[in-house]
Amino acid sequence: AATRLNEDLVAGGRVWLERDVSETDTFDRLLRHVWLNRDGEWLNVNAEIVRLGLAYASSYPPDTLYDHVYAAAEEEARQSGVGLCAPGF
């Protein structure tokens, strides 16, 4: 579901990839914060996926630039009871 949402969010758009501290994780995957500009407004795609309850916010120091944003997005998902934060999930 998270993969489909990610595809839907960025389909046909141009994304900006922002590096935090590390280039890759321990599995050699590229680490980036993904941004999408929609009509002059910037959307943090990572945070949107968390806000919609399709991922949990996790902290992996030293890459903590937006930890507060992701934590707030997860709290919003919990308050809304959506996705992974839905009652009984």
* Residue pLDDT, tens place only, 7-49: 888 888 889 999 999 999 889 999 999 999 988 999 999 999 9
Cis peptide before 62 (omega within 30 of 0): yes
Q: Which of 44, 56, 47, 54 is nearest to 15 (CA)?
A: 44
Predicted TM-score (pTM) of the model is 0.88
Distance CA 58, CA 30 (A): 16
* Residue pLDDT, tens place only, 41-79: 999 999 999 999 999 999 999 999 999 999 999 999 999
**Contact yes or no for 49/3 (Cβ under 8 A):** no
**Contact yes or no for 49/5 (Cβ under 8 A):** yes
The pLDDT of residue 3: 85
**Contact yes or no for 79/47 (Cβ under 8 A):** no
The full DSSP string for 19-50 is --S-SB-TT--B--EEEEEETTEEEEHHHHHH
